[in-house]
Chain A
């Protein structure tokens, strides 16, 4: 994947013209019968989608028409129907991302509007969510500050990254460069299974074993610490870091490594001076993805934290854990309505946007690396 090239106006116009020309060619070349079938299918699917969006009970009718049309098309014009169907599925993938964006933004808007704050006479919607620290959905003054939860998420993410990044990169090095074949065949599925353990099981073990133990060890009042949530979440983000970093290390051409070894270096010297620098951007993309996983991890945080939004005192006191953005949503969705529910959606928007940026950023870095190493993809 390369970086989107910058089109200027003229380039765009030629591109549009080319597409139009292709469309016209397509219509000319295709049999009218097939064209009609495909058109009917597309229009009816669109109608079904619109009906679904509008909460209409008639949605089923256009959908049935779509099924009949595609069924007919499949028998008579399979080639074209298959092409159109696969195009439809592709578009629906993008559409889902778009729908997520639109819907959680729309639900989040009331609270953003409620939290408008005027700075120098200019009203800035949502500013009060981030400059105050009071989360109080019931007792007046009612405020929905997300600062305590962002603080919690940041602390948990930092701790989780401190656990997952070094251990994950070391494990990736082990798997890709060091381990003998038999050991790798054992360790690699192990790491994958670590990813497979459901987060609620991690949370349950953390809740029943780790939290009481931590309260006892550190003389903490009550249960729930960011420290151990961070450790558990780090453990959960570890497999992501390992697998992506391993891919990056594997993509370093064997010839580079052999060249270095031929100069008489040890394996470790080759790793630190050839393999790791060459794969550096891929490895950092792996860490970024791991950070994304840690930010979005929900259930372990929900069952292990206290669920009472507020800042810890002092701010770097990681032995107390109140709430993260994710646990806020999971713990409060049940009895929330109106503005409070909308505030939960604001938390969702923050999570979504942050993780989306991390994902795009890591893809960008990976693409750069692949270009640099002269790969074909």
Chain B
């Protein structure tokens, strides 16, 4: 909690009892890690670990953990352990344990004992009721340990006795076949039981009562935050590992290594050759690449920003600075928030119905730009508005006191002060739209694996015509590719369409990686900008 300083005024004897509870928490953590390892098949459940098979090990550890939890609870009840329990474990825990034991009782009765609907229903009700009573009625130290610990013991015994062994399969018997097998069920059940027992022993570590609940809850909340970060890290690391070989395939440095380039009329050879980002896909290429998609993405982003930023910032200026708060600003706010949450595929449909027939009657880069611009617009409005609202009114008053007009105040005071927030918002928004597939799928998608000659050249594409609208740019009105679309089409493409690509799997992962790099670098820049400006503001 912000502003609160922790201090332990009373440090009671932290010797034996707390050590036991802490080691139970540690054991639960080990079990959780083991079950994850088994779930993701780093270890097979039949593999021997320390002389015993994984299933037996998990079962034995569960029994030990459960016994420790129960023993701690009973010891506390009998007064061997100094704790501050409440009279009851509370309604939330009671309902949770009742539901849990209802399911366990029902499953055991129907699957293991083979009872009919009435039989398993009755058994489930009885076990659920007993669990409710065992949680709600006794003192908290019994109520929160006994149901959790005995569940761990029961599961452990089931594993040890081989009722759920490595060859166990539960066919659900549905019309479309599906079944649970041991490789999935054992790790998942173990993970769940270890979480439960870990929570109970964390409570015990805190000595039950208010402090115990605090510790128990914090363990779960920290675990949750940790796993979110772990998932993020895994996703990114996995993509990077899989994508790197394809991405740097044939990378070469040295003078004259790269392709010939003409820039502003000067022809020179680049000192670096990076085939994956410098080539398209062609039959004669040694190494194929995604150059057209990269260029397409860049132009898409530029187009969307050029369209959306003036509109969005203008709208934010109007509703923040000019309009009186009232019905009109409310409508605008509801509309922008509604636009912001509109699914991207709906923007795609809108582009297909509204833009495509009006822009050359075919899928085109311009239609894609505008569709993404529509998506970016609400984000620009929302973030710009927030940034402008954060500018203190004193600034405006001081400016107005100098006798300048409203617009001069906006232009020379409000906008510069709000600029960091606006820029950050735009960068983050660009990161979002650069990775969008659905809208461009419907409005600008081109061929599956475009050759390098299909790279769009928007600047060189402008030409003047005699008929209205007098300026024409065929490059803008052509279908082209972009990174997210390229990845999608590579995933769904048939064999024939991508036969030019030798190692399709490597190519896909490299495309995914480069998309991830492009999008995440926008995010990194956005987050860093915000961080920088915040630090700067704090130091002022």
Contact (A199, B437) CB under 8 Å given A96-B339, A261-B4 = yes
Contact of A257 with B1 in the complex, beta carbons under 8 Å = yes
Contact of A193 with B345 in the complex, beta carbons under 8 Å = no
Instruction: Pick the contact of A97: B174, B338, B435 (CB < 8 A).
Output: B338
Closest-CB distance, B489 to chain A (whole angstroms)? 10
- Decide yes or no whether B395 CB sits under 8 A from chain A: no
- Decide yes or no whether B88 CB sits under 8 A from chain A: no
Residues of A within 8 A of B174 (CB): 313-314, 317
Contact of B346 with A194 in the complex, beta carbons under 8 Å = no
Contact of B211 with A266 in the complex, beta carbons under 8 Å = yes
- Decide yes or no whether A144 CB sits under 8 A from chain B: no
Contact of B338 with A93 in the complex, beta carbons under 8 Å = no
Residues of B within 8 A of A202 (CB): 235
Contact (A89, B315) CB under 8 Å given A221-B177, A298-B343 = yes
Q: Mark A352-371, 1 if CB is under 8 A from B, else 0.
A: 10011011100100000000
Contact (A89, B311) CB under 8 Å given A187-B225, A289-B341 = yes
Contact of B176 with A201 in the complex, beta carbons under 8 Å = no
Residues of A within 8 A of B342 (CB): 100, 296, 352, 355-356
Contact (A103, B218) CB under 8 Å given A60-B470, A200-B437, A329-B345 = no
- Decide yes or no whether B318 CB sits under 8 A from chain A: yes
- Decide yes or no whether A116 CB sits under 8 A from chain B: no
- In chain A, residues 154-210, which have Cβ atoms closer than 8 Å to a Cβ of chain B? 167, 170-171, 173-175, 177-179, 183, 186-187, 189-205, 207, 209
Contact of B512 with A254 in the complex, beta carbons under 8 Å = no
Is the interface on chain B under 10, 10 to 19, 20 to 34, or 35 or more residues? 35 or more
- Decide yes or no whether B168 CB sits under 8 A from chain A: no
Contact of B238 with A205 in the complex, beta carbons under 8 Å = yes
Contact of B314 with A88 in the complex, beta carbons under 8 Å = yes
- Decide yes or no whether B247 CB sits under 8 A from chain A: no
Instruction: Pick the contact of A296: B2, B175, B222, B345 (CB < 8 A).
Output: B345
Instruction: Pick the contact of B357: A55, A93, A201 (CB < 8 A).
Output: A55
Residues of A within 8 A of B339 (CB): 93, 96-97
A359 to B4, CA, bound (A): 36
- Decide yes or no whether B254 CB sits under 8 A from chain A: no
Contact of B354 with A201 in the complex, beta carbons under 8 Å = no
Question: Which interface residue of A186, A190, A204, A320 has the most chain B CB atoms within 10 A?
Answer: A204
**Does more than half of chain B's interface fall in helix, strand or loop, or is it mixed?**
helix
Contact of A352 with B353 in the complex, beta carbons under 8 Å = no
A92 to B214, CA, bound (A): 51
A196 to B515, CA, bound (A): 11
Q: Mark B382-409, 1 if CB is under 8 A from A, else 0.
A: 0000000000000000000000011110
Residues of A within 8 A of B183 (CB): 217
Residues of A within 8 A of B231 (CB): 194, 235
A303 to B437, CA, bound (A): 12
Contact of B438 with A298 in the complex, beta carbons under 8 Å = yes
- Decide yes or no whether B417 CB sits under 8 A from chain A: no
- Decide yes or no whether A136 CB sits under 8 A from chain B: no
Residues of B within 8 A of A194 (CB): 228, 231-232
Contact of A298 with B437 in the complex, beta carbons under 8 Å = yes
- Decide yes or no whether A309 CB sits under 8 A from chain B: no
Contact of A359 with B337 in the complex, beta carbons under 8 Å = yes
Residues of A within 8 A of B310 (CB): 89
Contact of B318 with A90 in the complex, beta carbons under 8 Å = yes
**Chain A residue at smallest Cβ distance from B516:** A201
Is the interface on chain A under 10, 10 to 19, 20 to 34, or 35 or more residues? 35 or more
- Decide yes or no whether B22 CB sits under 8 A from chain A: no
- Decide yes or no whether B190 CB sits under 8 A from chain A: no
Closest-CB distance, A262 to chain B (whole angstroms)? 10
- Decide yes or no whether B350 CB sits under 8 A from chain A: yes
Closest-CB distance, A99 to chain B (whole angstroms)? 6
Contact (A267, B1) CB under 8 Å given A86-B315, A167-B224, A330-B441 = yes
Contact (A313, B512) CB under 8 Å given A1-B333, A200-B437 = no
A290 to B297, CA, bound (A): 28
**Chain A residue at smallest Cβ distance from B331:** A94
**Chain B residue at smallest Cβ distance from A363:** B337
- Decide yes or no whether B270 CB sits under 8 A from chain A: no
Residues of A within 8 A of B350 (CB): 99-100, 103-104
Contact of B311 with A92 in the complex, beta carbons under 8 Å = yes
Contact of B407 with A207 in the complex, beta carbons under 8 Å = no
> Apart from A57-B469, A59-B469, A329-B348, what 8 extra A-B contacts exist at CB < 8 Å?
A79-B407, A90-B315, A94-B331, A94-B332, A192-B428, A296-B344, A298-B344, A356-B338
Closest-CB distance, B163 to chain A (whole angstroms)? 20
Contact of B432 with A345 in the complex, beta carbons under 8 Å = no
A1 to B325, CA, bound (A): 9
Residues of B within 8 A of A204 (CB): 487, 491, 508, 512
Contact of B468 with A317 in the complex, beta carbons under 8 Å = no
- Decide yes or no whether B366 CB sits under 8 A from chain A: no
Instruction: Pick the contact of A198: B334, B357, B484, B492 (CB < 8 A).
Output: B484
Closest-CB distance, A256 to chain B (whole angstroms)? 11
Contact of A96 with B349 in the complex, beta carbons under 8 Å = no
- Decide yes or no whether A335 CB sits under 8 A from chain B: no
Contact of A173 with B516 in the complex, beta carbons under 8 Å = no
Residues of A within 8 A of B491 (CB): 200, 203-204, 207, 303
Residues of B within 8 A of A352 (CB): 342-343, 346
Contact of B345 with A197 in the complex, beta carbons under 8 Å = no
Contact (A298, B345) CB under 8 Å given A52-B358, A173-B221, A200-B435 = yes
Contact of A330 with B438 in the complex, beta carbons under 8 Å = yes
- In chain B, residues 213-256, which have Cβ atoms closer than 8 Å to a Cβ of chain A? 213-214, 217-218, 220-222, 224-225, 228-229, 231-232, 235-236, 238-239
Contact (A326, B228) CB under 8 Å given A87-B322, A312-B176 = no
Contact of B354 with A103 in the complex, beta carbons under 8 Å = yes
Residues of A within 8 A of B353 (CB): 103-104, 106-107, 345
Stretch at the interface among B59-67, B280-288, B519-527: B519-527
A319 to B175, CA, bound (A): 11
A78 to B177, CA, bound (A): 71
A255 to B310, CA, bound (A): 41
**Chain B residue at smallest Cβ distance from A293:** B341
Closest-CB distance, B307 to chain A (whole angstroms)? 11
Contact of A104 with B349 in the complex, beta carbons under 8 Å = yes
Question: Can you list 10 contacts pairing A with B, beta carbon distance less than 8 Å?
Answer: A60-B468, A96-B377, A99-B350, A106-B353, A192-B428, A193-B527, A196-B432, A197-B235, A303-B488, A329-B349
- In chain B, residues 454-490, which have Cβ atoms closer than 8 Å to a Cβ of chain A? 467-471, 484, 487-488
Q: Mark B409-430, 1 if CB is under 8 A from A, else 0.
A: 0110000000000000000100
Closest-CB distance, B434 to chain A (whole angstroms)? 8
- In chain A, residues 257-309, which have Cβ atoms closer than 8 Å to a Cβ of chain B? 257-258, 261, 265-270, 289, 292-293, 295-299, 302-303
Contact of B235 with A174 in the complex, beta carbons under 8 Å = no
- Decide yes or no whether A4 CB sits under 8 A from chain B: yes
- Decide yes or no whether B275 CB sits under 8 A from chain A: no
Residues of B within 8 A of A89 (CB): 310-315, 318
Residues of B within 8 A of A330 (CB): 345, 348, 438, 441-442
Instruction: Pick the contact of A201: B1, B180, B435 (CB < 8 A).
Output: B435
Residues of A within 8 A of B337 (CB): 359-360, 363
Contact of B346 with A296 in the complex, beta carbons under 8 Å = yes
- Decide yes or no whether B18 CB sits under 8 A from chain A: no
Contact of B229 with A199 in the complex, beta carbons under 8 Å = no
- Decide yes or no whether B336 CB sits under 8 A from chain A: yes
Q: Mark A27-50, 1 if CB is under 8 A from B, else 0.
A: 000000000000000000000000
Question: Which interface residue of A86, A220, A303, A345 has the most chain B CB atoms within 10 A?
Answer: A86
Residues of A within 8 A of B225 (CB): 170-171, 174-175, 179, 183, 187
- Decide yes or no whether B529 CB sits under 8 A from chain A: no
Instruction: Pick the contact of B322: A83, A317, A356 (CB < 8 A).
Output: A83
Closest-CB distance, B501 to chain A (whole angstroms)? 16
A320 to B178, CA, bound (A): 9
- Decide yes or no whether B374 CB sits under 8 A from chain A: yes
Residues of A within 8 A of B352 (CB): 333
Residues of A within 8 A of B332 (CB): 90, 93-94
Instruction: Pick the contact of B214: A60, A254, A269 (CB < 8 A).
Output: A269
